[in-house]
Amino acid sequence: MSIKNTFGITNEDLDVLLDINHFTQADVEILRTLQPLVLPKLGQLTEQFYAQLQGNETTAHYLEGRIDALKSTHLAWLQGLFTENFDQAYVDFLWNIGRVHAKLHIAPLFVAASMSYLRAEFPKLITREDADALGYSQSELISPVLKMLDINQFVIDSSYSDRLLEVTGISKKLLQRLMG
């Protein structure tokens, strides 16, 4: 059963993603189990992430004068991957992130690059020894984290795209016909 059917999420496209990537309540429970292990490491991960962004001339200018606030927001979002209830309110929160990105002209490229960075870094935070101590394999612990990152990216990017359609006055159906 997909998580939509468990928590009442109303986004049909997201339900397809959840069904295909097999995101279930068991994944949510593993994310909760990871809290004591991962939460203390997220501050350093945030610092490394923003060092990456500052090192890229395209992304660096988006950070000017806002780096501390952005780090704080990013850290809270990362913590939420492990602490927030996965329900319609969480999906609405992610949807709002996409709207803010659209308003600030933060293109989906930046979300994709950020998620790519995090997908590469999160597995390094969970060692085989950590997994053994928790009674799981390393892949059993990493898989829900990667799924949650995919879910977050999908919702944020979908919201951004929907906002672009609203601003241009183009409906999804019209866009599909134009592309067809």
| Each residue's pLDDT tens digit, 6-37 | 667 888 889 899 989 999 999 999 999 999 99
Looking at every residue in the chain, the average pLDDT score rounds to 92
Which pTM was predicted? 0.91
CA distance 106 to 113: 12
CA distance 124 to 118: 10
CATH numbers and ranges of domains, the chain: 12-179 (1.10.490.10)
pLDDT at residue 120 in the model: 98
DSSP state of 146: H
Q: In this predicted model, what pLDDT tens digit does every residue of 42-58 receive, in sequence order?
A: 999 999 999 999 999 98
Q: In this predicted model, what pLDDT tens digit does every residue of 56-107 receive, in sequence order?
A: 998 898 888 999 999 999 999 999 999 999 999 999 999 999 999 999 888 8
The helix (H) or strand (E) run that includes residue 176 is helix 172-179
